[in-house]
């Protein structure tokens, strides 16, 4: 079976180069078969399985029967590029609602590493001057050249799958700040509890919640049909939860019955 010349001999010989190339291929295609990857990189089926196992462990993709995908499933929230493109209208509607109702000039605003928070970050210059605290590199990049925005980056261990700093060191950095309001999202919501895919993400977001005077969750409707292993917080423990109108009415009623302050925003 011939090797694709565009894959390069370096990728065949170097596992890390090959995994980076595989990650990019799966992200661009959405789904790639194991046999295709083996042919492209000139390696065995077993080698491809080991590479995909490692990429799945790091959170870049999800292994499925016969191949790998970057698209979200009930137990995998999707890679960062896919999440950036998902539910864009709902995220923008939620972001505009909280910008209007929660953000005032002069505040210290904390943002987590969710793509909905990134959507809000792009709107924040409308409310400058602000101080923005975050551990998410796309937010730092989006606001770096914006006048009236003072940026505070939370360091720690960098996680490429999330393009952010996560874990105990980041949590300690977060605890040193007292934001007026934190905007966050979550991987999944089940039985009135926000749940997270990654333990390091859970540790970091819990620290952000504890440090902020007010916590506002931005949750689009797609989060209510997923699962995730780590408990973040009950909706009743947050000051406000904003969802879009595509969230099922029984779900909204259940969250309110569990003590959550739930606001629903129209899209479009």
Residues 186-221 have pLDDT tens digits of 999 999 999 998 899 999 999 999 999 999 999 999
Q: Could you read off the pLDDT of 41-96 as tens digits, one per residue?
A: 999 999 999 998 888 877 777 788 888 887 665 555 555 666 666 788 999 999 99
- Nearest-angstrom CA–CA distance, 188 and 78: 12
Cα–Cα nearest to 111, from 137, 79, 88, 91: 137
Q: Is 249 exposed, middle or buried (0-12, 13-18, 19+ CB in 10 A)?
A: exposed
pLDDT at 244: 97
Q: What tokens does 188 get?
A: 């999944």
* Distance between CA atoms of residues 81 and 28, nearest Å: 9
Q: What is the pTM of this model?
A: 0.77
d(CA 265, CA 246): 9
- Closest of 134, 116, 183 to residue 143, by C-alpha: 134
* Cβ neighbourhood burial of 169 (10 Å; 0-12, 13-18, 19+): middle
Which two tokens mark 1?
Answer: 């079976």
């Amino acid at each position: 079976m011939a090797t694709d010349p565009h894959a390069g001999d370096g990728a065949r010989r170097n596992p890390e180069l090959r995994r980076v190339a595989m990650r990019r291929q799966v992200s661009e295609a959405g789904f790639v078969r194991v046999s295709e990857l083996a042919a492209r990189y000139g390696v065995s089926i077993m080698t491809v399985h080991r590479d995909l196992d490692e990429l799945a462990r790091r959170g870049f993709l999800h292994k499925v029967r016969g191949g790998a995908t970057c698209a979200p499933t009930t137990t995998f929230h999707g890679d960062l590029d896919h999440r950036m493109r998902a539910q864009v209208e709902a995220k923008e509607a939620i972001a505009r609602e909280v910008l209007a109702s929660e953000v005032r000039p002069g505040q210290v605003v904390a943002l987590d590493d969710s793509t909905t928070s990134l959507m809000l970050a792009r709107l924040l210059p409308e409310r400058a001057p602000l101080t923005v605290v975050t551990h998410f590199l796309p937010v730092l990049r989006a606001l770096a050249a914006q006048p009236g925005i003072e940026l505070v980056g939370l360091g720690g261990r960098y996680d490429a799958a999330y393009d952010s700093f996560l874990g105990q060191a980041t949590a300690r950095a977060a605890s040193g700040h007292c934001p007026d309001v934190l905007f966050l999202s979550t991987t999944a919501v089940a039985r009135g509890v926000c749940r997270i895919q990654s333990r390091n993400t859970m540790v970091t977001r819990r620290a952000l919640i504890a440090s902020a005077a007010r916590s506002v969750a931005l949750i689009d409707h797609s989060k209510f049909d997923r699962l995730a292993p780590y408990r973040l917080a009950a909706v009743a423990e947050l000051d406000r939860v904003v969802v879009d109108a595509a969230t099922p009415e029984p779900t909204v009623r259940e969250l309110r019955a569990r003590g959550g302050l739930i606001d629903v925003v129209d899209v479009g």
